[in-house]
């Protein structure tokens, strides 16, 4: 039972850290790729 006192806060901290990292990547526009593979396949660059 004493191990839960340690594991629950650690897991909450790691979850919050992962969420903060995801929010940071979204706000810094790392997922905005207008000329990505989906658009690049439609272009004919011969």
Query: What's residue 28's pLDDT?
Result: 93
Query: What's residue 4's pLDDT?
Result: 95
Query: What's residue 45's pLDDT?
Result: 67
d(CA 27, CA 8): 28
Query: What's residue 46's pLDDT?
Result: 60
- Placement of tokens 């901290």 in the chain: 13
Question: Splitting the chain (46 residues) into consecutive groups of 10 residues, what average pLDDT does each group show?
Answer: 95 98 93 74 72
Query: What's residue 2's pLDDT?
Result: 92
Query: What's residue 38's pLDDT?
Result: 74
Burial of 20-44, coded b for 16+ CB within 10 Å and e otherwise, reads: eeeeeeeeeeeeeeeeeeeeeeeee
């Amino acid at each position: 039972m004493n191990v839960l006192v340690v594991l629950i806060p650690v897991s909450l901290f790691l979850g919050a850290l992962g969420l903060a990292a995801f929010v940071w990547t979204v706000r810094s526009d790392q997922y905005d790729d207008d000329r990505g593979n989906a658009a690049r396949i439609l272009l004919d660059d011969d």
